[in-house]
Amino acid sequence: MNISIKAKASQSYDAIVVGSGISGGWAAKELTEKGLKTLVLERGHELKHIVDYQTTNDTPWKLNWMNKIPRETYQKQAKQARTGYTIRPDAGYLFVNDQDHPYEEKQRFDWMRGYHTGGRSIMWGKQSYRLSPMDMEANAKDGISIPWPISYEELAPWYDYVERFAGISGSKEGLPQLPDGVFQPPMDLTPAELDLKSAIEQKWEGRKLIPGRVAHLTDPTKEQLELGRSSCQYRNLCRRGCPFGAYFSSQAATLKAAERTGKMTLRPHSIVHSIIFDDKTEKAIGVRMIDEVTFETIEYYSKIIFLNASAVASTAILMNSKSKRYPEGMDESGALGGYLMDHHLGVGANGILETHQDKIHYGRRPTGFYIPRYRNFHEKATSNYIRGFGYQGRGMRQGWNRWIDGFGAEFKKKMTSFGPWSIGMGGFGECLPYENNRISLSSEKTDKWGLPLVVADAAFQENEINMRKDMENDAAEMLEAMGAKNIRSYNNDPAIGLGIHEMGTARMGSSPKESVLNEFNQVWGAQNVFCTDGAAMVSASCQNPSLTYMALTARAVDHAVKELKRGNL
């Protein structure tokens, strides 16, 4: 492609960020605040803060079909229909329609995406936990996969840094398996949850129940207020977008901060296809993108590139980035695409409580309780597996939406009174990094923009399946210990993707022979290309991962800008 020097100048930036979700928002904020003229290329449409949250204030009866999924949608969007989660009328418009953006699966893979500014930072659950030293040492200790190239101690100041800005509510507990952070006040546990807490902590030494740590403001700082954010109003309608900016999203926080610097250009409808690598200088010089609407191919140039398209999409971009140096995509280790991880869930227990009939809770708290990992740490596993799991759950007074039989005055009375308390918990289990859990690119099929389709071929294996027995039994046992009735435990078929925590397909490491990225998330051999989303993860732990992507991103930008100033990039 021949372009004039003038055109090249207008398409040149100090830095390019691919994707504007949780990690891309952080890259944009950090790069612009450090003075770099930054282009953010986002494949989806622009989703403006507040004004574009279409259903945020809708009452249940205003939502289409009372928020039920129509049969035609179930039929048309068959992959999404497996969970229904991404096609419900209240927030379905925020999730990618698999019909328009197809992918292939050799084994079931639920790829839940959001293609708009902010990515999944709008729909995420905000549960925010650090990895622990134990998590980051686990691969080395178990001789599994490769060790993390950085320690918890190296990451800890960056956790502090991102927590302070994002705003995490939580309680300090002093637990070695779940390090404390910079917290705003925690959300209260309900009376039912306090009962469960005391039952568990009395019966099992080392098991703890704590308030869920979430990226919601409970005591906003001056910086957060200046960005237009305010305290959580306890509506629990977060997945539709928060008009108070009370939970952390790119729109409410990082993109706003980046915009304030005057250094950011955000280009929506920009599908990045690949990185342009110059074999002579051994550096990337820019990216090639396709305009989603006009189908035009455009190149943009920069000194630094941050890949933050989310684990699978960033990996696909690296695979598409072919040059003399990288004939098979930007990797020389063979690790690219392999070691796909997710958390396995859909296992736990719930029950009913006869206590606290005289009490009701006020407001709709957008979190619940958390039980940090205790197996293979405080307690040995009862079956044959390594690593462990945590639980997320809630104990709530049953409201009007419970299923009630009957008719007439008696039915009306039951419908307008509260029911007993119910309590339940679901496990989040660690998944090991397996070489044969892979994504690749189709050699035959492309989407309408000419990009090869992603092919997923991954499944949970023996270690995860064994772990699930304890995840089910322990949950039921803990509910039993508190005196819950009608306990029902479950262990649904797990599939990769259901946890919505895809990780590991371009892992970090200490050597180009076994990893795609180095200890600062730079692509080996192309040091001005950084990837700081879930693709970089070396192991999964059992904690929700997005806080770690934020910390890795802030740390990598700090390194990138220092290296740029030293003339090394």
Measured CA to CA, the distance from residue 88 to residue 74 in angstroms comes to: 10
Select the span of 159-167, 205-213, 227-235, 536-544 touching ligand SF4 (CB under 6 A): 227-235
Binding mask 357-376 for ligand SF4 (x = CB under 6 A): ---------x----------
Binding mask 4-23 for ligand FAD (x = CB under 6 A): --------------xxxxxx
* Among 444, 59, 366, 409, CA closest to 188: 366
Burial class (CB in 10 A: 0-12, 13-18, 19+), 7: exposed
Token output for 461: 């294996």
549 touching ligand FAD, by CB under 6 A: yes
Measured CA to CA, the distance from residue 60 to residue 154 in angstroms comes to: 47
313 touching ligand FAD, by CB under 6 A: yes
Sign of the dihedral defined by the CA atoms of residues 332, 497, 187, 352, in that order: negative
Select the span of 100-108, 123-131, 169-177, 412-420 touching ligand FAD (CB under 6 A): 123-131
138 touching ligand FAD, by CB under 6 A: no
* Among 271, 310, 309, CA closest to 291: 271
246 touching ligand SF4, by CB under 6 A: yes
Among 74, 152, 204, 234, binds ligand SF4 (CB under 6 A): 234
Measured CA to CA, the distance from residue 537 to residue 433 in angstroms comes to: 9
Q: CB 533 → ligand FAD: shortest distance, Å?
A: 3
For ligand FAD, the closer CB: 476 or 503: 503
Full DSSP string of 261-284: TT-EEEE-SEEEEEEEEETTTTEE
H or E, element range at 504:
none
Measured CA to CA, the distance from residue 347 to residue 426 in angstroms comes to: 6
244 touching ligand SF4, by CB under 6 A: yes
User: Which of ligand SF4, ligand FAD, none has residue 193 at its interface (CB below 5 to 8 Å by kind)?
Assistant: none
- Cα distances (Å, whole numbers) of residue 15 to 44, 140, 353, 557, 560: 20, 35, 56, 10, 10
317 touching ligand FAD, by CB under 6 A: yes
Select the span of 57-65, 121-129, 292-300, 487-495 touching ligand FAD (CB under 6 A): 121-129
545 touching ligand FAD, by CB under 6 A: yes
For ligand FAD, the closer CB: 40 or 227: 40
Q: What is the DSSP pairing of strand 297-307 with strand 283-291?
A: antiparallel
Token output for 413: 């009375």
Q: CB 114 → ligand SF4: shortest distance, Å?
A: 16
- The edge-to-edge listing of strands for the beta sheet with 438-446 is 104-105, 452-457, 438-446
115 touching ligand FAD, by CB under 6 A: yes
Binding mask 484-523 for ligand FAD (x = CB under 6 A): ----------------xx----------------------
Among 136, 196, 237, 536, binds ligand SF4 (CB under 6 A): 237
193 touching ligand FAD, by CB under 6 A: no
Backbone angles phi and psi of 443, in degrees to 5: -90, -5
235 touching ligand SF4, by CB under 6 A: yes
Q: CB 420 → ligand FAD: shortest distance, Å?
A: 28
Packed helices 152-166 and 546-565: angle between N→C axes, nearest 10 degrees: 100
User: Which of ligand SF4, ligand FAD, none has residue 41 at its interface (CB below 5 to 8 Å by kind)?
Assistant: ligand FAD
Interacting residues with ligand SF4 (CB under 6 A)? 216, 232-238, 242, 244, 246-247, 366
